[in-house]
């Protein structure tokens, strides 16, 4: 399965370029044209990321994340989430790179094939960086009134935590 997955990205790239050649598209010129548009995208995202990543780093450093994890223990117990995976449920909606670092940490402490390790992996794969997505997409068109987007997304994230623990129980016990 692992061997199979390493083929996916290179094969997709080759297929796309082959499709371009068949349709007689100037592939390299098109590539350069598209790649240029990536630069302003990154620059427009940078200020948002500086604000959010700094906030998350400060939140972690102050010990507030640990306290929040402890305070939420009754809720997460109810959702069936193992204690070691709780920080993942909290950090996943806030920071993509942060949750990758955290997954590394949890797998190192609990082992990749433990219940907590598997739940953290599934949770990390089954949800997205909610706050980043909302701020980037709304920021791109200059909208500040987001109505119920955050509420609906956070409901979805809570569901993701619940279903991740449930799915791991279902498939591995």
Partner 1 sequence: MLNVIWAVIMIISVVCGIITGRISEVSYAAINGGKAAVELCISLLGSICFWSGIMKITEKCGLTALIGKLCRPLIALLFPGLKANSSAASAITMNISANLLGLGDAATPLGIEAMKCLQEINNDKSTVSNYMVTFIVMNTASIQLLPTTIAAIRAEHGAASPMDILPAVLLSSACSLIVGLLAAAIGNIRYIRKHCHGALKQPI
Nearer Cβ to partner 1 (73/101): 101
Nearer Cβ to partner 1 (36/74): 36
Per DSSP, 113 falls in state: T
CB of 58 to partner 1, least distance (A): 4
Cα distances from 136 to residues 20, 132, 140, 147, in angstroms, run: 31, 6, 6, 16
Nearer Cβ to partner 1 (86/122): 122
CB of 77 to partner 1, least distance (A): 19
What is the Rg, in whole angstroms, of the alpha carbon atoms belonging to the chain? Answer: 20
CB of 95 to partner 1, least distance (A): 10
CB of 78 to partner 1, least distance (A): 16
Query: Distance (Å, rounded) from C-alpha 35 to C-alpha 140?
Result: 19
Cα distances from 124 to residues 5, 75, 101, 145, in angstroms, run: 18, 19, 11, 28
């Amino acid at each position: 399965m692992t061997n199979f997955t390493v083929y996916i990205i290179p094969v997709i790239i080759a297929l796309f370029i082959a499709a371009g050649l068949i349709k007689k598209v100037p592939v390299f010129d098109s590539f350069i044209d598209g790649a240029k548009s990536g630069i302003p995208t990154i620059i427009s995202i940078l200020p948002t990321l500086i604000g959010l990543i700094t906030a998350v780093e400060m939140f972690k450093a102050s010990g507030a994340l640990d306290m929040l994890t402890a305070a939420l223990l009754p809720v997460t117990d109810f959702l069936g989430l193992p204690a070691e995976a709780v920080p993942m449920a909290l950090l996943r909606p806030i920071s993509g790179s942060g949750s990758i670092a955290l997954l590394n940490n949890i797998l190192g402490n609990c082992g990749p094939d433990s219940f907590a390790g598997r739940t953290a992996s599934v949770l990390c794969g089954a949800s997205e960086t909610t706050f980043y997505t909302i701020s980037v997409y709304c920021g791109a068109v200059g909208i500040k009134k987001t109505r119920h987007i955050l509420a609906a997304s956070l409901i979805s994230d809570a569901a993701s935590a619940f279903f991740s623990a449930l799915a791991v129980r279902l498939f591995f016990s």
